[in-house]
Structure 1
Amino acid sequence: MNATNQQRTKAAKSNEHLRGTVLRQLAALAKMKTPELREKWRELNGTEPPAYKRQHLVRRLAYRIQEMYYGGLEERAKQHLAKLAETDALALVTGKPKKKAPGTQLVPGTRLKRRWRGVEYEVIVVEGGFRYKGTVYKSLTAAAEAITGMKLSGRNFFGLPKQTRVRRREAGGRSR
């Protein structure tokens, strides 16, 4: 056997030993009670454990053990995950922005009027929400609730078409 093959054999045996150690630790997690898991968390992370249920603690600790033995995510992967978390995942994966159903987007400056119980109400579409009587609401539904005092759909209240079916199909979900 040459030197390179000997190194590979030695590395393989070392990895097998590591793998066995990891598997034993993972199996031990399944048998631990919650206080033991919390102590293991302190040992591995150096912090107080979050108030997770036992099952979640086991999963997080299992990941941490494997991360310590096999290495964590590369920095590039971490950056990609962070980017996914703060953007539209579908657009990031496909490279295309999420399609909007034609005619369902309201342009800032649009005035929505509705006569209700003898009084005419007006809501103005603004960047980031809907303004009614000087207050900006995050959703049209919130503005409609401010007007009526009841929980109801803002789109229905102002007579706008529904978007639900289109959005579900675009997201790959089922439609009604």
Structure 2
Amino acid sequence: MTNSLSLELGRLATMKPTELRSRWREVYGNVASNVSPDLIRRVIAYRLQEKGLGKLPSHIERELDRLNGKVGTSAPIPSRRGPILPGTRFVREWNGKTIAVTATDSGFEWDNDTYRSLSEIARKVTGAHWSGPRFFGLTAKVP
């Protein structure tokens, strides 16, 4: 990796959200979607690396597209099979806040409390009824 690219990537790590959105406009020529600063940082970093080091070979892009289903769509989320083992961590971003839950022998630990289910945590986080497994991405949305 070139020294200037390394410096640019290092600067991204310390940029504030407004600076990141401004850098996005410089790199992409449009306004960034309403996504987290971390995602903006990663996408800009990818584009800068792509410009500096070259794109992925087309056969690799095709394989990634194949694995992802279709271009522009998400890969289907497989249904969870088997038990959730103690120590498993679930991470979800909600309204700019990262929700990190750890499975324990007695339930699920989040925010210094233990809950019986992921659904209890999802309800507490969102204020609405959610399927906990769906909220944490363990199951796909039923059409």
- TMscore range, shorter length: 0.3 to 0.5
The structure that has the greater radius of gyration is 1
TM-score, normalised with respect to structure 2:
0.45
TM-score, normalised with respect to structure 1:
0.37
Q: Which has the higher helix share?
A: 1
